[in-house]
Chains A and B, each alone.
Chain A
Amino acid sequence: MASEPEESSIDLDRQTGTGTSTRFSVDNLSLRQQEFLEGWLFVLGKLAIISFVIGFPMVFAVYLSFTDSNLVNLPGEFIGLGNYRWVLEQDVWWTSLKNVFILGAVVIPANIVFSFTTALLLREKLRGSTLYRVAFLVPVAGPPIIWAIVWKLVLFPNEGGIVNSLLLAAGVIEAYIPFLSDTAYALPSVIVSQMWGFGLSMLIYMAALAGLPSSVMESAAMDGANKYQKVRYIIWPLMKPTTFFLVVIQLVLVMRMGFGAVFVMTQGGPLNATMVPSYFIYQLAFRYNSFGQSAAAAILMFLITAFIALLTYKPLQSNAEYYQ
């Protein structure tokens, strides 16, 4: 974009939005037209990437979901809603939905409880606070895949397993438990392993707590509130917008939960006991090369996500406004 900085006096024409512009070599554009052009030029890069990697592929995905496409049969015949019907008839699909909602129902509340309580306690200038903070941040700093690999090692099914040995020594169990290959234990094991990724939420609570006016705490002390009451009736309600934000973000992303863990620890098994929608879709595409069915399942997953986002949008909006 060429500029002509030599003309430095204030140009009254430009202020009124009429007359010729000297900022572009292209003359005879009104200020409004020029801003229009500039605006679109500035967003062009992002829009190009989004259309290429999201826009066209989304349309293509919808199209694929209505065809019997697979690896050797591309683009495949149009079969209407056949794939959708097929997916909805699969028990695995419903199991995977049930599993991911159980996962979310445990992991999201755990995230809130652990992040709020640790953020609160780390305010207390305890010795070793920094060390605790680092410990809490480790799972979220690294790849989910490593998180899953280290838990696979911890849950090792026989004599080498550290959890198994501890439980055995404590007399809680009488024999080694195959945590990841027993239908009764696999899902709970995956869920327990996923409960510890609250580090980022903790940082956000810490920022919110640091922003509390100290007068709030002082006035509470004067009113004779005890510590529990302070936390329960003063601090916790003041954290409501933060809590709400954290819950909503996780709800919207709930359908993506568990992919890394399931990929590494169980591959959805045993007998689909740990199947989650994301892994089901991945498996349909890359194990069975069934692109049409996989696309249909992915679009169902997207619709559920959009529905959740729609449900939470209004409250989130009013919540944010209320607080500003």
Chain B
Amino acid sequence: MSADHETIFEDPDTKKGRLERLGAHTYLFAIAVLTAGPYLLMLSVSLMGNGWNPVIPPKVVPDVWSLQNYVDVWLGQTALLDRGFFGFFVNSLVYAGSATLIVLVVDSLAGYAFARLEFAGRDVTFGAVLATIMISPMILFIPVYLMFNEFGLVNTRLGIILPHTISGFGVFLMRQFIKTLPSSLEDAALMDGCSRFGIYWRIVVPMMKPALVTLAVITFITVWNSFLWPLVLARDAGLYNLPVALGYFQGQVSTLWAPLMAAAAMTLIPMVILFVTMQKYYVRGFTLSGIKG
């Protein structure tokens, strides 16, 4: 945000200005408690060396501070998780990383064609690609499961990655962005006999970097947080990603809250860091699509 925009509140030195700020802080703080409060409790419980149990008054702050829960969960030394969390972490990285790579390649290629080339059937195809945004995984998971079963893709990494690359959103984003770029350089290269792929690779991709970062961030976070597809397609616990591992272990009969919260914190914190540092890019994804105010 620029520092020189017009604000609504009075000067902070005036009495009215101070009151207004006090009111704003009260409101924002109350909402922050509701959005982030439960996550702070998660962090606190994850640091409880003696575990968390229901007592009066409720245990909110650790009496013994310890990182032991993190170590136990990471190495799979708790009754809750007999499998090292390390493995789920690697799975999540592999799924999110691979899906992001695939999406960047196929979506930018398709987006370029939809933005710049003229070919019969283009608009209909683009409409069909866009319509995929509407389709919920709920309608797909049974037939995809049965089909993937036939092709030997159930319980494989490839099978888990593929459904995360279907969204038409990235194609839309790429097309919109390329349409805002001047095409004179591409035309000149075409005249000079550069191949279409050469134009895409040497001219369009370098100019598209901001949009590619946007798409990469959005895809990576979405796949990292994905729950339903890995839940349906990974039968072997060795293929679970972090959310599925969490979902599975939180359902155990007696929940061991302290290690569970450590596991949740390890899943969440990388995404919060990524999201907060990349929020500008995340927003750009929406503003680029041309429907902002």
- Shortest C-beta distance, A239 to chain B (Å), equals 5
CB within 8 A of B194: which of A3, A42, A196, A298? A3
* Extra contacts besides A35-B118, A45-B110 (15): CB < 8 Å: A4-B193, A50-B128, A124-B24, A143-B227, A144-B225, A149-B250, A159-B56, A160-B54, A162-B41, A200-B282, A208-B292, A227-B8, A241-B293, A260-B227, A286-B232
Q: List the A residue with the shortest CB-CB distance to B105.
A: A45
Is B253's CB within 8 Å of the partner chain A?
no
Q: Does B261 contact A (CB under 8 A)?
A: yes
**Contact in complex: A138, B39 (CB < 8 Å):** yes
Q: Does B142 sit within 8 A of A, measured CB to CB?
A: yes
* Complex A-B: 19 CB contacts under 8 Å: A4-B193, A23-B196, A35-B117, A39-B119, A42-B112, A43-B125, A46-B109, A49-B165, A56-B143, A121-B24, A121-B27, A123-B1, A123-B5, A142-B271, A146-B268, A207-B287, A207-B292, A285-B142, A295-B143
Does B259 have its Cβ within 8 Å of any Cβ on chain A?
A: no
Picked from A125, A150, A324, the residue with its CB within 8 Å of the CB of B264 is A150
Task: Give the interface segment out of B67-75, B80-88, B205-213, B241-249.
Answer: B241-249
Q: Mark A278-310, 1 if CB is under 8 A from B, else 0.
A: 100110011000010011001101100110010
Contact indicator B227/A144 (Cβ below 8 Å): yes
- Rounded to whole angstroms, the CA-CA distance of A151 and B38 in the bound complex is 6
Question: With A and B bound together, what is the CA distance between A159 and B224 in angstroms?
Answer: 34
Q: Is B35 an interface residue (CB 8 A)?
A: yes
Which 9 A-B pairs rank lowest in CB-CB distance, beginning with the nearest? A160-B54, A39-B119, A3-B195, A208-B293, A42-B113, A242-B293, A45-B106, A141-B275, A57-B143
Report chain A residues within 8 Å CB of B168: 46, 50
Partner of B293 from A227, A240, A277 at Cβ < 8 Å: A240
**Contact in complex: B45, A159 (CB < 8 Å):** no
* Cβ of A273 under 8 Å from chain B: no
CB distance from B108 to the nearest CB of A (A): 9
- Name B250-287 residues within 8 Å CB distance of A: 250-251, 257, 260-261, 264, 267-268, 271-272, 274-276, 279, 282-283, 286-287
Q: Given the known inter-chain contacts A23-B193, A320-B291, please indicate yes or no for A255 contacting B144, CB distance below 8 A.
A: no
**Contact A210–B2 (Cβ < 8 Å):** yes
Q: Is B114 an interface residue (CB 8 A)?
A: yes
- Asked if B238 CB lies within 8 Å of chain A CBs, one says no
Q: Is A61 positioned at the interface, with any CB of B under 8 Å from its CB?
A: yes
Whether A203 touches B271, Cβ cut-off 8 Å, given contacts A52-B162, A162-B41, is: no
Per-residue CB proximity of B19-47 to A under 8 Å, as 1/0?
A: 00100110111011011111101100100
CA–CA, A84 and B28, complex, Å: 47
* B268-A143 in contact (CB<8A): yes
CB of B138 within 8 A of chain A? yes
Name, among B8, B21, B37, B264, the residue most crowded by chain A CB atoms within 10 Å (CB to CB). Answer: B8
When distances are taken between beta carbons in the complex, the residues of chain A under 8 Å from B139 are: 58, 61, 295, 298-299, 301-302
Determine whether B64 belongs to the interface, using a CB cutoff of 8 Å to chain A: no
Within 8 A of B (CB), among A14-28: 14-15, 22-24
Shortest Cβ distance from B216 into chain A, in angstroms? 16
Chain B positions within 8 Å of A320 at CB level: 290-291
Is the C-beta of B236 less than 8 angstroms from some C-beta in chain A?
Answer: no
Q: A153-B45, A256-B136, A298-B138 are in contact. Are A146 and B267 (CB under 8 A)?
A: yes
With A8-B192, A74-B146 already in contact, the answer to whether A58 and B140 are too (CB < 8 A) is yes
Cβ A241 vs Cβ B292 within 8 A: yes
B181 surroundings in chain A (CB, below 8 A):
none
- Give CA–CA (A162, B61) in the complex, Å: 12
A217 proximal to B (CB < 8 A): yes
Chain A contributes a number of interface residues (CB within 8 A of B) equal to 129
Q: How many Å lie between the Cα of A285 and that of B27 in the bound state?
A: 44
Question: In whole angstroms, how far apart are the Cα atoms of A283 and B274 in the complex?
Answer: 34
Quick one: closest A residue to B107, CB to CB? A46
> Do B142 and A141 touch (CB < 8 A)?
no
How distant is the Cα of A138 from the Cα of B34 in the complex, in angstroms?
Answer: 11
Across the interface, do A206 and B8 meet the contact criterion of CB distance under 8 Å?
A: no
Q: Chain A residues with Cβ under 8 A from B50's Cβ?
A: none
List CB contacts (< 8 Å) of A195-211 with chain B: 195-196, 199-200, 203-208, 210-211
* Separation of A309 and B45 alpha carbons in the complex (Å): 43
Cα A162 to Cα B196 with chains together (Å): 62
User: In B187-209, which residues have CB < 8 Å from any A CB?
Assistant: 191-198, 200
Cα A276 to Cα B280 with chains together (Å): 34
- From A101-109, A112-120, A179-187, give the one contacting chain B: A112-120
A98 at the interface (CB under 8 A from B): no
Confirm or deny: A172 has a beta carbon within 8 angstroms of a beta carbon on chain B. no
Q: Is the CB of A56 within 8 A of B227?
A: no
User: CA–CA, A136 to B35, complex, Å?
Assistant: 6
What are the residues of chain A within 8 A of B225 when measuring CB–CB? 142-145
Q: How far is the CA of A231 from the CA of B25 in the complex (A)?
A: 18
Bound-state CA distance A123–B5 (Å) is: 8
Q: How far is the CA of A15 from the CA of B188 in the complex (A)?
A: 12
For residue A93, CB closer than 8 A to chain B, the reply is: no
B24/A54 in contact, CB under 8 A: no
A1: which of B8, B107, B117, B195 is its contact (CB, 8 Å)? B195
Q: Are A204 and B243 in contact (CB under 8 A)?
A: no
* Closest A residue to B171 using CB positions: A46
Task: Tell me the minimal C-beta distance from B35 to chain A in angstroms.
Answer: 4
Docked Cα-Cα span, A140 to B24, in Å, equals 23
